Structure 1
Amino acid sequence: MCVRRCLVGLTFCTCYLASYLTNKYVLSVLKFTYPTLFQGWQTLIGGLLLHVSWKLGWAEINSTSRSDVSMWLPASVLFVGIIYAGSRALSKLAIPVFLTLHNVAEVIICGHQKCFRKEKTSPEKICSTLFLLAAAGCLPFNDPQFDPNGYFWAVIHLFCVGAYKIVQKSRKPNALSDIEQQYLNYMFSVVLLAVASHPTGDLFSVLDFPFLYFYRFHGSCCASGLLGFFLMLSTVKLKNLVAPGQYAAWIFFAKRGKLKSREGNWPEAPSVSL
C-alpha cells in the first residue's frame, strides 16, 4: 500500500509540473492567448476521455438527479472562472509568482471557516495563512516583470479557487463523487466556453495566430489536454488513498519542484518563415 501511495503521489507531481510547463509554453512562448479556445479544448479532451473511461468501466459515474446537478451548477461556474482567469494570469506571470498567488486561496478558505462557520482554527494554520498573504503582498514590489493585468486575473483566479473549495466542502456527503463533480465541470465548461468564444473575439482572432499550423503547437495542445486529464485522475486517486495532511504535503512537494523555474529556460518559439 505504501508503494502504491508513493507511485500515485509521484504520478501526481509529474503531471502537475508537466501540465504547468506545457500550459506556460503554449501561453507565453507561443503566445496563444485565446483562453476560451485553449481552456475549451482542454476541458473537451478531459470530458471525452472521462466519458470513455466511464463507458469502459475504468471510472465510476452514477446517474445523478437533477437536484444534484442544479446544486452543483454554481461550483461549475466557479470552475470556469478558475481555468479562464488562471489561463489569462499564467500567460503574463512567471510560474512561481502565479503559484504563490494561487496559494492565497487558502486565506479565503480559512477566513470563511473562522468567520462564517465558526470552526476552530489552529494557531499554526493561522500563521501559515498570514505568511501566504504577506508573501503575496510583497510580490508586486519585488517582481521585475510586474504586469498589472496578470495580477488582476490572478486575483480573480484565487477568489474563484477559494469560493470553489468552499462550495465543494459545503456539499452533502456522498451527493456527488469527485469524478462526478469533475465530469459536470467538464461538460458545463465546454458549453460555456464554446458560447463565449464568439463574443470575446477569440473564435475569429485565432485565425491570425502565426503558429496555427505548426506541429509544435499541435503537439503542445494535445499534451496539455492529456496532462490535464491525468492530473485530475491522479489528484482524485491521491485524495482517496492518503490522509488530508499527506495530500497537502504532496501538493507542497509538487509546487516546490517548480518554484525555481525561470523564463529564460523556455525553448524558442518556432519560426514562421519558410
Structure 2
Amino acid sequence: MIPDVISALLLLAAAGCLPFNDSQFNPDGYFWAIIHLLCVGAYKILQKSQKPSALSDIDQQYLNYIFSVVLLAFASHPTGDLFSVLDFPFLYFYRFHGSCCASGFLGFFLMFSTVKLKNLLAPGQCAAWIFFAKIITAGLSILLFDAILTSATTG
C-alpha cells in the first residue's frame, strides 16, 4: 500500500511540474488531460464503491472505452474543439494519422495483455511486466510523435 501511495505522489508531482518545463506548452492539451484524470478518478471511485461486477475485465475495459469516446465527443462541441479540428495543421499528414493509429493499437494491446497477465502471473511478476510494457510504449511514442525533449522535461 505504501509503495502505491509513494508512486502516485511521484507521478502527481511529475505531472504538476511538466507544464512549467514543456517547450511545446498548449493549454488545450492540459485541459483535456485534466478532464481525462477526472474521468479516470471517477471511474476508479465508482469501481471501488460497486460490488464485484458480473462483467469480465475485458468487458469493463470495452465499456470504459465506449463511454470515453461518447463523453469526449459530446464534450468537444461546447469547448469549440469539434469544429477547430478542421484547422489542425497536421490533419492531412500521414505521419500524424499513423502515430494516432499506432498509439491506439499499442494502448489496446497493452490493456489486453494487462488483463491476460493478471490471470496468468503472480501479482509481483504481473506488475513488473506491466511496468516494462508501459516503458516500451512511452519510448515508442517518443519516436512516433514529434517532441522536443529538454533535460527538465525528461526528468
TM-score normalised over the length of structure 1: 0.40
Identify which of 133, 136, 143 aligns with 2:9. Answer: 133
* 2:68 equivalent to 1:192: no
Aligned residue for 2:108?
Answer: 229
Task: Name whichever of 251-260 and 175-184 sits farther off.
Answer: 251-260
CA distance in 1, matches of 2:120, 2:31: 36
CA distance in 2, matches of 1:157, 1:185: 12
Query: Where do 5+ consecutive residues of structure 1 fail to align?
Result: 1-124, 270-274
1:140-165 Cα distance to aligned partner (Å, 9 max, x none): 67987156957777666556544433
Aligned residue for 1:167?
Answer: 46
Distance 1:209 1:250, change over 3 A: same
Aligned residue for 2:129?
Answer: 250
In the TM superposition, 1:107-126 aligns within 5 A as 125-126=1-2
Distance 1:240 1:166, change over 3 A: farther
After TM superposition, give the deviation of residue 252 of structure 1 in Å.
2.8
The alignment covers a number of residue pairs equal to 143
CA distance in 1, matches of 2:66, 2:127: 28
Aligned residue for 2:98?
Answer: 219
After TM superposition, give the deviation of residue 128 of structure 1 in Å.
5.5
Greater share of residues in helix: 2
Q: Give identity over the alignment, percent.
A: 68
Distance 1:144 1:259, change over 3 A: farther
The answer to which structure, 1 or 2, has the higher relative contact order (CA under 8 A, 6+ apart) is: 1
Query: Where do 5+ consecutive residues of structure 2 fail to align?
Result: 148-155
CA distance in 1, matches of 2:132, 2:84: 39
CA distance in 2, matches of 1:131, 1:234: 22
Structure number, greater radius of gyration: 1
Q: CA RMSD in A?
A: 3.9
